[in-house]
Amino acid sequence: MFSTIEDMQLKKWIAVCVVLLAAVCLRSGIAHAQQLNALPDFTAEDRVIIFAPHPDDEVLGAGGVIQQALKAGAEVTVVYLTCGDHNEFAFIAYEKRITLRKSEFVHMGEIRRKESLAAVRSLGVPQDRLIFLGYPDFGTMEIFTKYWGSAKPFRYLLTRISKVPYLSCISPDAPYIGESILQDITTVLRRTRPTKIFVTHPVDVNRDHRAMYLFLQVALWETEGLFPPPQVFYYLIHLSGWPLPRGYHPQLMLHPSATVKDEPMIWFNTVLTDAEITKKMQALRFYKSQMSTGYLLTFARKNELFSRYPVIVLRSQPAYDKPQWQEGSHLMEEGPSDRSMLPEVFYALEKRDLLVKIVPQKRNRFKGTVFLAGFRKNVPFSQMPKISLKISPRTVAVTDKKTRLRTHEVSLQRQNTTVTVRVPLSLLGDPSNILACVRAPAAYLSFEDTAWRVVQIE
């Protein structure tokens, strides 16, 4: 029997342990409140595509899924957006030398391509099911937002390359412009007619990872109706402070990051067997050029995580005096208030104007950039506007791709710390869908609020 004093001390120790455990979970990016749905089973009729921005992403995010799909008899294809030829730090650590020569970047890309051949072959994928596009590592987001139509191809300062330099890629010598990437991805979709797709997450902080998601989304719109719509799942690789602890811990589970809110994201989980974990770890070890740290092995765990974002559907409501603001699956008829709402980005439609309301957590004047890329069926995406709205304390600068627009159609309204931008749909090409993103420092918005979202206009 404990005395009263001993009981009180014990309760204090228990309370301290609970607090410490909660702190560890938060530090590890664990959000237990988020429900994990089971990933749908694979069948022999499935045609699965893994889209990887760089060699190694396919194993990091979906090495277990690849094994499970193959066991079910499904056809698995892996598509690489880049050859990962712009990782200078990995190059220095791997080759033990510093170089800025053009040929050395291509050399590094070839090393990573060969590593991927060995890694994915060890998982059971035939070599002829690996497709390399060869576009510029660390340059694909720049291409998506600026390099379309008559623009000169993107040319990175260090590599000094402006076209696909690899003969083994699907379109050798293709210029570094948006049309080249989009055409290659739509070609793959037409040939493969996938039933399930796995691609990098729109909340991922790596720019190539976000660009992979964007180009795929446009390609799916462009091929709509040619084959049944596939199930699309996002896998997350790069997010500050996630996952923890780093290194090889096969006994641990991956959990959704606590820095990403529960809603409106829908999470899916697939559990790996011990044999699948070991095989995934062994596949990752083929990426010797990237193994200077233990980061890669962090993803060889008991499960793999995937998610989906619901589409934001906006409808014009002429009967309403005020627009209906929407963030994911949440609908606020009265609109968000910077006094009562957490930091958020909201969208609304008023007549033929798109409204973007930003409620930052920082209590001084918001600074950031809003990106809006419209899509309309039967209009080449290269001809649709790619609008950038740079918001400063007093003004908003409007750019379409690389061209500064002198327009008074875009308006900016500030109320306390809240910012509302009004953009005519005509400026976006009267789209049926919009790819929207707000880019701002973490002091203003969460990672999720700066992710790309699909906005559907009805």
Question: pTM of the predicted model, to two decimals?
Answer: 0.89
Report d(CA 384, CA 247) in Å as an integer: 44
How does strand 75-82 pair with strand 130-135? parallel
Q: What is the pLDDT of residue 262?
A: 55
Q: What is the pLDDT of residue 279?
A: 98
Specify whether the CB–CB gap between 279 and 294 falls below 8 A: no
Q: What is the pLDDT of residue 342?
A: 58
Integer distance in angstroms from the first to the last C-alpha of the chain?
69
Q: Tokens for 14, please give them.
A: 């228990």
Q: Phi/psi class of residue 10: alpha, beta or left (left: φ > 0; alpha: ψ in -120 to 50)?
A: alpha
Q: What is the pLDDT of residue 330?
A: 43
Low-confidence ranges of the chain (pLDDT < 50): 1-6, 8, 10-11, 13-33, 328-341
* Residue 455: strand pairing partners: 312, 434
What are the Cα distances from residue 12, in Å, to 8, 19, 226? 6, 11, 64
Report the side by side order of strands in the sheet with 418-424. 330-332, 325-327, 344-350, 353-359, 418-424, 411-415
3-state SS track over the chain: CCCHHHHHHHHHHHHHHHHHHHHHHHHCCCCCCCCEEECCCCCCCCEEEEEECCCCHHHHHHHHHHHHHHHCCCEEEEEEEECCCCCHHHHHHHHCCCCCCHHHHHHHHHHHHHHHHHHHHHHCCCHHHEEEEEECCCCHHHHHHHCCCCCCCCCCCCCCCCECCCCCCCCCCCECCHHHHHHHHHHHHHHHCCCEEEEECCCCCCHHHHHHHHHHHHHHHHCCCCCCCCEEEEECCCECCECCCCCCCCCCCCCCCCCCCCCCCEEEEEECCHHHHHHHHHHHCCCHHHCCCCCHHHHCCCEEEEEECCCEEECCCCCCCCCCEEECCEEECCCCCCCCCCCEEEEEEECCEEEEEEECCCCCCCCEEEEEEEECCCCCHHHCCEEEEEECCCCEEEEECCEEECCCCCEEEEECCEEEEEEEHHHHCCCCEEEEEEECCCCCCCCHHHCCEEEEEC
Report d(CA 22, CA 17) in Å as an integer: 9
SS3 80: strand
Query: Which domains, from first to last, does the chain contain?
Result: 36-308 (3.40.50.10320), 312-457 (2.60.40)
* Residue 271: strand pairing partners: 303
Specify whether the CB–CB gap between 170 and 118 falls below 8 A: no
pLDDT digits (tens, 9 = 90+) for 372-396: 999 999 999 999 999 999 998 888 9
